[in-house]
Amino acid sequence: MLRFKLTKLISLAILVFSLSSCIKEPHSYYRETITFQEATLAPETYWNGEDGTGSKIFGSVSFYNKFEENESGGYWKGFAYSNITDIETQGSENQYSAYLSIGGYPGNVYSVVHVNGESATMSFINVGTPISILITNSTFAYFSMKNGNGSIAPFGPGDWFMLTITGYNINNDPIDSVEFYLADYREGKTKIIDEWKQVNLNSLSGSTKIIFTLSSSISDEFGLNIPAYFCIDNFEISYTE
């Protein structure tokens, strides 16, 4: 009888162990919003990598930056950070300002993005689900499209300026892309983005990085004739570990 009871107890223990091994622990879930406020700046100033510190990490995301000295003082690409609210000055002297028709928010830090190749790359600490991001034009690009510059006339019928946001998986294969028109004069439209617009990024789930690229009807064999700039803020992403 004792042997029978021991056999039953052992069988029950094996069953409980087998079942417990089949039950996975619930995945932990983490969600964050990158606001860039950690980039401490004096009022109405910017950071563009001139100090040589290079790419910056905010929360779980690394933002590429490269600065190179040249005869005109320096050249940067990737992500810079700014709290400049000037929406009146036109030209390259005002390349660090987001264009907001209602005016900027003093003290709010956002990122100015300069696209050159794959310079506009955001890399994640883990496989993530991008949720959304705020996007607007830079003042530099806005006035180039609205009023023209030395290279182009003001935007007219059929013209457009588009941002493409592509997510890549751990094998560096593209998952999906989201398109957002920074300016659209097709089919009777006359819109140039002049406020923060929230763009849904849920289709990029499973990404380990995002690369931003720009394209336009106003291009030639050398690339864009529009300043290759735009601005972002409040990037939201979640992770399941």
Q: Tokens in use for 213?
A: 């690229």
How large is the average pLDDT for residues 92-121?
95
Q: What is the pTM of this model?
A: 0.87
For strands 174-184 and 219-220, give the pairing. Answer: unpaired
More confident residue, 92 or 3: 92
pLDDT of 71: 78
pLDDT of 27: 60
C-alpha distances in angstroms, 195 versus 75, 103, 142, 148, 201? 27, 9, 11, 20, 19
pLDDT > 80? residue 156: yes
Question: What CA–CA distance (Å, rounded) separates 6 from 209?
Answer: 56
pLDDT grade for 173, boundaries at 50, 70 and 90? very high
Half-sphere exposure of 90 (CA within 13 A, CB side): 9
Residue carrying the six token digits 């094998």? 171
| 180 in Cβ contact with 197 (< 8 Å) | yes
